[in-house]
Structure 1
Amino acid sequence: MRARAAAGEADDVNHTRVRLRRELERARARTHALTAVPESELTAQHSVLMSPLVWDLAHIANQEESWLVRRVAGRAAVRDGIDEMYDALLHPRATRTELALLDPAGARAYAAEVRDATWEVLDDCDFDTELTRDGFVFAMIAQHEQQHDETMLATHQLRSGEPILDAPAAPRTVASPAPDRVVVPAGPFTMGTSDDPWALDNERPAHRVHVEAFVIDAAPVTNARYLRFVDDGGYDRRALWTEDGWAHRVEASLDAPLFWSRGEDGRWVTRRFGRRIPVRPDEPVVHVCFHEAEAFARWDGGRLPTEAEWEKAARWDPDTGGSRRFPWGDDDPGPAHANLGQRHLGPAEVGAYPGGVSPLGVHQLIGDVWEWTSSRFLPYPGFRAFPYREYSEVFFGDDHRVLRGGSFGTDPVACRGTFRNWDLPIRRQIFAGFRVARDAEGASDV
């Protein structure tokens, strides 16, 4: 009996190793693809909002070395004296070109040396500590790399010059969301998670939340809907904007989503990874900040959803009363569920993923565009920083707003129904859109 149990545990450990190796390899392949550009493109700062790509490359390796090679295995540093240079909290992005960064060849060599050590650590790990249980810290590093890959993808979008990246076009609509809006009944649901082994600290713990009845868009706001707001003078109507939002609109001279411009024929076009394309009416609007999303929602007669409302629409199963891992269930995302993982270089048209619809009939809650919510980034009741304060805790407060759902540039390993992203309300370089919510008075409790 004991022998069979030991064999089962060994199988579980081997399965965990195989899965972690696959996730780490996938992340590194994407990193290589995003940095397979001329050296001048790697070392340039394409925007003060972003790091030079070569900084991200070495930072990814430095985090991996710090957590896996040094903390898990207790080994000496692969390269001394560079931790401070690649500490994201010590050096704002706008100043990172002033540092004595590793050059592209040095950064690649460092990343390769760290990864060789990581494979040894993974092979030797018994997953018997809080940090390593179920492979958590290895998965955290895979998620960290994929998050930086999405950041590097945003840097590619900001760069000028000829196109470098390519990918197949996102799918066209195969089924329109119907109806346009969905009623979510009042009642409690379980928000967050206590049992997803790779969930990060700000997603924990699971807790019950009562949500009043509300109505939510069946799909993210499209370019066509947003264009009506633009044409109706939405950017010039002070009453639609909060005080902070209006001040930013004026200071930043906002008059359309980032990367939009008028073509020679007067029609709107957008620049996407170096290519100018028509603004496609049925795609979710992308590259709008929180203030723009909030002003549109007010113009549309609604508001932005809270993150609790968003999560209930995405995860709550009215048949069981439980919370799913994803809108479609507990299975990992696949190509039929959502537009994730940089398979495409833009959002898909609304309705293109009927396999990913929630039990209530809400579409594209995962992938395509991050969705702004009205919520500030705050800890859940019972929050515990793990394994370090700097991932989440130092960002809690009134400055950042929560985004949910992931974008076309988010990898599946770094995306789930409980995942919480956050950013400053003025940010537009991220792949962010939104959907509108409304109160639903009179809907019955469930």
Structure 2
Amino acid sequence: MVTRALIESVLTRARERSRLLTDSVDDGDLVAQHSPLMSPLVWDLAHIGNQEELWLVRDVGGREPVRVDIDALYDAFEHPRSTRPQLPLMDPAQARAYVRTVREKVWDVLDGHPLAGSPLAENGFAFGMIAQHEQQHDETMLATHQLRSGDAVLVAPETPDLGGTPEIDTEVVVPGGEFVMGTSVEPWALDNERPAHAVDVPSFGIDTFPVTNERYLAFMDDGGYERRELWSERGWSHRREAELAAPQFWEWDGKSWWRRRFGTMEPVRLREPVVHVSYFEAEAFARWAGKRLPTESEWEKAARWDPRSGRSRRYPWGDEDPDDTRANLGQRHLGPAVAGAYPAGASGLGVHQLIGDVWEWTSSDFLPYPGFSAFPYREYSDVFFGGDYKVLRGGSFGTDAVACRGTFRNWDHPIRRQIFSGFRCARDVQGEQA
């Protein structure tokens, strides 16, 4: 049930995280562009405030604008990330003051709003949308932190190991048949998750766990990056052009592989899911393993379908919201947990860590579901359909629970590696029983 207390909680949690990600560096870091793929952190912060003003203060609240003069400046579609440092942006102090002012007005709007009366207001949808938007930018800012040079500024406890040492290279066979994909009832689901619709998925096998660094190293040691036959034509062309030889942020010291993580160098941990790999790398690994990447519908069936009841659940473990025992979400840690760390989060079929840890590449293009309707604006999903995007599922350690569920869809270009992306493999099953 959506309540004012819930809305206040998710908005507060998002703002605390935005503050952590921006207060942890000095003003020079905030205005710098750490990669042409990313915005300056100060742009993200002000953009968060501007979207909150547009939707909650002006639209839902019907209040006077705070800064109508900056709308175009912080329009993500008007200014590519690579050009944003040249814009006359608010400085860090101005951006912080702006988002504070906007939030104060939002609290006033929330206090007196009936959370009904229009599709945007029903069940507090606009408030939930804005909380998700801020958390999505927080994950983007976390990726910017990974790309910045200099000393480590973020701290978090180590990931737990709650699941012992399971056999990693195993799979689950998912029986063929129809299941309900997407949702028509989740109150804060975004437009590309809707509507719910039946999909008939043939039997398939899917990895019990995401592919680990140990498995990925075996691919590398077997010449995976040099073997043309493992790569698609586009993938091989990109591998050569970008000179890919290992996941992003990995370094070889002559004896072993190390990884740079948020300013700290550490040995590659074998049991963790591999992260910072592109779709093309995932595709090549799958071919090397004699498998393929799962389709989006296969991934969602493995995550949501309950073999006992035959219905689709909100999350792999059931309908309850995520907690610390079920998934690695919300930047509680600064990396994925080892395979098997969250046995309480396994799906009804016995597939583990489908939520949190790493975004998982699927083989599916980003397309609308049957009956899709853009809401509340085309630029969230509709303009991306049919482009050069592959769907990712499941969220990462940097994804907040408010922006992650069994139906949530992410997408990116197949060459991208700065995102917290990993994968698991699937295979066709002929005549096998689950």
The two structures have a TM-score, normalised by structure 1, of: 0.95
Alignment of 1:230-379 (within 5 A): 230-263=220-253, 266-379=255-368
Query: What is the alpha-carbon distance in structure 2 between the residues aligned to residue 444 and residue 200 of structure 1?
Result: 35
Q: Distance in 2 between matches of 1:325 and 1:300?
A: 31
Checking the alignment, whether the CA contact within 8 Å between 2:316 and 2:347 is kept in structure 1 is: yes
SS in 1 for 2:3: helix
Shift of 1:266: 1.4
Q: Aligned residue pairs: how many?
A: 431
The one-character-per-residue Cα deviations of 1:211-265 (angstroms, maximum 9, x if unpaired) are 01000000000000000111111111111111110111011000000000112x5
The one-letter amino acid paired with 1:201 is: D
Which secondary structure does the structure 2 equivalent of 1:152 belong to? helix
Question: What is the alpha-carbon distance in structure 2 between the residues aligned to residue 109 and residue 398 of structure 1?
Answer: 37
Instruction: Provide the C-alpha distance between the structure 2 equivalents of 1:323 and 1:444, rounded to a whole number of angstroms.
Output: 21
1:422 aligned residue (411, 417, 423): 411
For 2:8, give the aligned amino acid: R
Q: Could you give the per-residue CA deviations for residues 278-326 of structure 1, whole angstroms, max 9, x where no partner exists? A: 0000000000000000000000000000000000000000100000000
Name the SS of the counterpart of 2:269 in structure 1.
coil
Please tell me whether the aligned partners of residues 238 and 246 of structure 1 are also in contact (alpha carbons under 8 angstroms): yes
- The question of whether the paired residues in 1 share the 8 Å contact of 2:231 and 2:283 is answered with yes
The whole-number CA distance in structure 2 between the counterparts of 1:436 and 1:284 is 12
Kindly provide the CA deviation profile for residues 125-179 of structure 1, in whole angstroms up to 9, marking residues without a partner as x.
1122111111110000000000000000000000000000010011136234457
Provide the C-alpha distance between the structure 2 equivalents of 1:421 and 1:384, rounded to a whole number of angstroms: 17
* Per-residue CA distance 1:354-408 (angstroms, 9 max, x = gap): 0000111100000000000000000000000000000000010141000000000
* Change in CA separation of 1:46 and 1:183 when aligned onto 2, cut-off 3 Å: same
Q: Secondary structure at the match of 1:198?
A: coil
Tell me, which stretches of 5 or more residues in structure 1 are unaligned?
A: 1-11
- 1:288–1:433: 8 Å Cα contact kept in structure 2? yes
For residue 5 of structure 2, the aligned residue among 6, 18, 30 is 18
For normalisation by structure 2, the TM-score amounts to: 0.98
What is the alpha-carbon distance in structure 1 between the residues aligned to residue 109 and residue 257 of structure 2?
52
Alignment match of 1:82 (pick from 61, 70, 85): 70
1:3 alignment counterpart: none
The alpha-carbon distance between structure 1 residues 386 and 131, as it changes in their structure 2 partners (threshold 3 A), is: same
Q: How far apart, CA to CA, are the structure 2 residues paired with 1:173 and 1:429?
A: 28
The aligned counterpart of 2:33 is 45
Give the partner amino acid of 2:151: E
Matches within 5 A, 1:13-412: 16-36=3-23, 37-128=25-116, 129-172=118-161, 174-177=163-166, 180-263=170-253, 266-412=255-401
- Identity across matched positions, percent: 67
CA RMSD of superposed structures (Å): 1.1
Partner of 1:4: none
Q: What's the secondary structure of 1:331's corresponding residue? A: coil
* Counterparts in 2 of 1:429 and 1:281: CA distance versus 1, 3 Å: same
Give the partner amino acid of 1:32: R
Determine if contact 1:371/1:404 at 8 Å carries over to the other structure.
yes
Q: CA separation of 1:398/1:444 partners in 2, compared to 1, >3 Å: closer, same or farther?
A: farther
Q: Aligned AA for 2:176? A: A
> What amino acid is the match of 2:241?
E
Give yes or no for contact 2:355–2:396 (8 Å, CA) kept in 1. Answer: yes
Stretches of structure 2 that go unaligned for 5 or more consecutive residues are none
**Is the 1:199–1:419 Cα contact (8 Å) retained in structure 2?**
yes
Deviations 1:3-30 (Å, cap 9, x if unpaired)?
xxxxxxxxx7xx6111101110000000
* Equivalent pair of 1:173/1:349 in contact (CA under 8 Å): no
In structure 2, what residue type is equivalent to 1:351?
Answer: G
Residues 83-139 of structure 1 deviation map (CA, whole Å, 9 limit, x = unaligned): 111011111111100100000000000000000110011112112211111111000
Read off the aligned partner of 2:41 and give its amino acid letter: L
Q: Deviations over 1:10-68 (max 9, x none)?
A: xx7xx611110111000000000000020001000000010000000000000000000
Task: Mark the CA change 1:337 to 1:189 in structure 2 (over 3 Å): closer, same or farther.
Answer: same
Shift of 1:76: 1.8
